[in-house]
Amino acid sequence: MHHTRRGFLKSASLALAAGAVGATVAPHAQAQGRILGTVIDYSAGVPSGKSVKAAGHLGAVRYVSNPRPDAQWMKGKPVSIAEARDFANNGLATASVYQFGRADTADWLGGAASAAIHAPQAISLHQAAGGPTGRPIYIAIDDNPTRTQYTEQIRPYLQAFGTALTVAGYRVGVYGNWNVIEWCIQDGIGQYFWQHDWGSGGKIHPRTTIHQKAKWQTYIDGIQVDINNVYASDWGQWKPGQAAPSSFPIDLNSLSSQISPQDIDNAVKLSQNIM
């Protein structure tokens, strides 16, 4: 399926404007309070499923985004269907995360307008790797932002990205520090949370699905990987060809309460401007 910035803006805006009467709330991934295993993430290359399995991991969180032009070392972006199949053949699973920019080029700096560009890319790459609907795509906030940055840029970015994911039949994950996760929960954003330690003050949020421990790294097949603790049996994992959960609910009712009529109007106007 071909996704466009215009199409996502229009479908999300119209669905939200309709109010989605009777929509049910998507269940949250439930953190178990104990470590259930480990998963890895990486971008410099792609280790084999056999080696990842031998290292004792459950799978990997993988990028559904392209490498940055200034980072030619990112040979492991984006995830491919061959990689996902190799993992599945070795009893491993894959989860998806979107992150293209970082620091001065962070994806969230452009707010909702940037999400309208990034979400279609994330979904297309997720699909190309065999990722099913009904699964989350983690949206990366790889920073230690201020509350003002969250309110003025990150929240609109996550809301717009999350709307696009939900309308297309996906769930919403957020990669961020303790504060970002807490603010997202307060605002009703996300069902899955992947925590990093930058700015987290040594705390692990109780709603954390996956925890990326700072400087916990190793090499598999000569490729540097980060190791993450898993705190929920459902950490957003999928395998190619897997059917979407039959009862996956579209959480538009919740989303409509998060996004103001002005946000919807702005999205419609933006979509009209690029027709």
**Per-domain boundaries in the chain:** 5-273
Whether residue 158 contacts residue 175, with contact meaning beta carbons closer than 8 Å, is answered with: no
- CA 57/CA 227 separation, integer angstroms: 9
* pLDDT of 200 strictly over 90: yes
Question: What's the pTM?
Answer: 0.83
Q: Is the pLDDT of residue 264 over 70?
A: no
Q: Is the dihedral of CA 87, 30, 194, 2 positive or negative?
A: positive
pLDDT digits (tens, 9 = 90+) for 88-102: 999 999 999 999 998
The residue with tokens 């106007």 is 269
Question: Taking 60 as the threshold, does the pLDDT of residue 243 lie above it?
Answer: yes
Query: What's the CATH architecture for 5-273?
Result: Alpha-Beta Barrel (3.20)
Would you say residue 52 has pLDDT above 60? yes
* pLDDT at residue 11 tops 60: no
Query: How confident is the prediction for the chain on average, in pLDDT?
Result: 84
pLDDT band at 37 (very low <50, low <70, confident <90, very high): very high
Per-residue pLDDT at 41 exceeds 80: yes
DSSP assignment of 247-261, as one string? T----HHHHHHHS-H
